[in-house]
Amino acid sequence: MHKIGIIDLGSNTTRLIVMAYEYGRCFQLKDEVSEVVRLAEGVGDSRTLRADPIRRAVEALSMFERFCKNTGVEQIIAVGTSAIREAKNQEEFWSALRRVSTLDLQIISAEEEARLGYLGTINALAIRDGFVFDTGGGSTQVCAVRDRRLLRSFSVQAGVLRFTERYVKSDPINKNDLRRLREGAQQAFAHLDWVRGGNGLQLAGMGGTVRTLARMDQKQRDYPLDRIHGYVLTRNALNTLIEQMALRNRREREALPGLKADRADVTLAGAVIIDQLMEQGNFHEILVSGQGVREGIFYQHFLAAHDPPYLENQRAFSIHSLACLHDYEPVHCAKVAEISLSLFDQLAPLHLYGAWERELLGYAAKIHDIGVQVGYYDHHKHSAYLVFNATLLGFSHREIVILASLVRNHRKGQADLDEYAQILASDDEIRIARLSALLRLAEYLERSKSQVVRSVEVRIQADTIQIVVHTTGDATVEIWDATRRAGLMKKAFGRNIEIIAAPML
């Protein structure tokens, strides 16, 4: 696989991601490193970078470059954003960088920064219409999205480091500073009259601040899924976090679960900026993106043959990518999917499910065996672990729990769903049981991985579901094993299960 390193020099933090990929087939995050350099520290209205922040930024960039070279990264793309593009003394920065590094750092415009953030988010979240924002250290970018395409963008110098230095002069923040901070955010977005919620328009957010706020909310809720990407942060929760941070000094804020010490001084300003954007557009929640500018650069590279460079169906692609990364068996999985979906379609009068459940069942069939790469014994549990920790694009947290549960249940036993009660719907337990039963039956009807079962025919009777198996050879083992494993289906559908071979013609 190819390896590419992508570096984003921001006003507050410098980050590196390393991606391994095969063009058009699969990709995987291999490493991630970040360093708080505070490049915009002390800049104020002078637009002059100070010596210490330049030194910190250059040291981080040089370290990231050496890391990439030492780990076999074939190509490095590095970009600089708000702080460096606005600096009057850029030449001082370039001189310092050239002394220790050969890195080709590209300074991107505010419009390009917004576009790259949009690309990272639109490929990662299931958002078709709405708005995408990125609040960084020096600025905030907002994009309007319609039918997944970038309609227009806006950039303003409202960043967490910039606003903290400008407005936060007290610790804990006093009422006057908090008022000035809110007024500053209001002024920043005063002319942004095209950002309005309603009519199904979503608001998606990226950047270190929104991820930090999401993590803090998860800690307070005892959220069972260790996953920020795809998390829904409500405005009520955001306001609670603002109140908690405003009442504490920096040392006390550092003790708040989910708030890292190096962000304890700037996160309040970021939260107020985001809250004002929600107020302006009348949004009640944010869909949090774990991907942004760096991933946008990667997608632009990975999807260079596409215009625009985004995945047409990121859900299907990420499932295929996950399957490929774990050396799945395409023919076997295709047959399991075929049988599962045939059972699903024929049993529709009983389960009354639709296209959404059918889609999830098909995806689960494709990745049900990926845990075998970890080890055969308990591979169904390994598969579930891999699903929970995979880069699955476009899936909600509820869908990820369902997918993980289906692959966990495909072989034997049943996943304990109690810990995910706050994520799942009230009827998901029976939904998961029924879909798992179909996947399990299909798996055992493909027991020998020889595709001996040509098709299945379902006959729904008063107290029995009869499944007639049409074969291309001897399916004795498959029918025997499927019959032994039919207990979950009997329980889930409330009927006896009878599996028989069709008469040979």
Do 96 and 142 share a domain, yes or no?
no
66 within some domain: yes
Do 252 and 373 share a domain, yes or no?
no
Question: What pLDDT is stored for residue 152 in this prediction?
Answer: 97
Q: Tens of pLDDT along 222-262?
A: 999 999 999 999 999 999 999 999 999 999 999 999 999 99
What is the distance between the alpha carbons of residues 280 and 286, in angstroms, rounded to a whole number? 13
Question: What pLDDT is stored for residue 43 in this prediction?
Answer: 87
Q: Which own/partner pairs from 482-490 qualify as long-range (CB within 8 Å, at least 24 positions apart)?
A: 482/441, 482/444, 482/445, 482/447, 484/444, 485/412, 485/440, 485/441, 485/444, 486/437, 486/441, 488/409, 488/414, 488/433, 488/436, 488/437, 488/440, 489/437, 489/438, 489/440, 489/441, 489/465
Do 103 and 115 share a domain, yes or no?
no
What is the distance between the alpha carbons of residues 286 and 232, in angstroms, rounded to a whole number? 6
Do 345 and 419 share a domain, yes or no?
yes
Question: What pLDDT is stored for residue 505 in this prediction?
Answer: 55
Question: What pLDDT is stored for residue 503 in this prediction?
Answer: 76
Longest dimension (CA), the chain: 87
Please compute the mean of the pLDDT values over residues 338-359 and round it to a whole number: 98
Q: Tens of pLDDT along 176-208?
A: 999 999 999 999 999 999 999 999 999 999 999
Q: Tens of pLDDT along 320-343?
A: 999 999 999 999 999 999 999 999
What is the distance between the alpha carbons of residues 227 and 388, in angstroms, rounded to a whole number? 8
**Which residue type, as a one-letter code, is found at position 177?**
D
CATH number at residue 382: 1.10.3210.10
Q: Which own/partner pairs from 16-24 qualify as long-range (CB within 8 Å, at least 24 positions apart)?
A: 16/64, 16/67, 16/68, 17/294, 17/295, 17/298, 18/68, 18/71, 18/73, 19/298, 19/302, 21/302, 22/324, 23/302, 24/305
| Percent of the chain predicted with pLDDT > 70 | 100
The total of structural domains in the chain comes to 3
Do 91 and 132 share a domain, yes or no?
no
Q: Residue 44: is its pLDDT beyond 90? A: no
Place of tokens 């009660």: 421
Among 430, 450, 470, give the residue marking a domain's end: 450
Q: Tens of pLDDT along 98-124?
A: 999 999 999 999 999 999 999 999 999
Do 118 and 240 share a domain, yes or no?
yes
Place of tokens 């390393």: 18
Please compute the mean of the pLDDT values over residues 83-96 and round it to a whole number: 92
Q: Tens of pLDDT along 377-394?
A: 999 999 999 999 999 999
Please compute the mean of the pLDDT values over residues 436-440 and round it to a whole number: 98
269 within some domain: yes
- Rg of the chain on CA atoms, in Å: 26
Residue 331 in contact with residue 140, Cβ under 8 Å?
no
- Average pLDDT of every residue of the chain: 95
**Which residue type, as a one-letter code, is found at position 62?**
S
- Residue 129: C-alpha distances to residues 122, 191, 228, 374, 435 (Å): 10, 21, 21, 39, 31
- Residue 496: C-alpha distances to residues 171, 286, 485, 501 (Å): 68, 46, 12, 17
- Residue 133: C-alpha distances to residues 13, 94, 203, 258 (Å): 17, 29, 8, 22
Do 272 and 247 share a domain, yes or no?
yes
Residue 479 in contact with residue 469, Cβ under 8 Å?
yes
Please compute the mean of the pLDDT values over residues 269-293 and round it to a whole number: 97
Q: What DSSP letter does each residue of 68-134 carry, written as one string? A: HHHTT--EEEEEE-HHHHH-TTHHHHHHHHHHH----EEEPPHHHHHHHHHHHHHTTS--SSEEEEE
Structural domain range at position 258? 111-294
What is the distance between the alpha carbons of residues 29 and 17, in angstroms, rounded to a whole number? 7
Among 71, 88, 108, give the residue marking a domain's end: 108
Residue 229 in contact with residue 288, Cβ under 8 Å?
yes
488 within some domain: no
What is the distance between the alpha carbons of residues 76 and 88, in angstroms, rounded to a whole number? 26
Phi, psi of 17, rounded to the nearest 5 degrees = -120, 145
31 within some domain: yes
Question: What pLDDT is stored for residue 504 in this prediction?
Answer: 64
What is the distance between the alpha carbons of residues 228 and 218, in angstroms, rounded to a whole number? 9
Do 134 and 283 share a domain, yes or no?
yes
Do 94 and 154 share a domain, yes or no?
no
Question: What pLDDT is stored for residue 47 in this prediction?
Answer: 87
Do 143 and 101 share a domain, yes or no?
no
CATH number at residue 198: 3.30.420.150
What is the distance between the alpha carbons of residues 394 and 404, in angstroms, rounded to a whole number? 15
Please compute the mean of the pLDDT values over residues 83-92 and round it to a whole number: 92
Q: In this structure, how many other beta carbons lie within 10 angstroms of the beta carbon of residue 446?
A: 26
Task: Collect all residues with Cβ–Cβ distance below 8 Å to 272 and sequence separation of at least 6.
Answer: 163, 178, 181, 182, 185, 242
Do 160 and 126 share a domain, yes or no?
yes
pTM, 2 dp? 0.95
Q: Is 153 helix (H, G, I), strand (E, B) or coil?
A: strand
Among 80, 108, 136, give the residue marking a domain's end: 108
480 within some domain: no
489 within some domain: no
505 within some domain: no
DSSP summary character for residue 263: G
404 within some domain: yes
Q: What DSSP letter does each residue of 205-219 carry, written as one string? A: EESHHHHHHHHHHHH
Do 269 and 330 share a domain, yes or no?
no
Q: Would you mind telling me the total number of residues written for the chain in this entry? A: 505
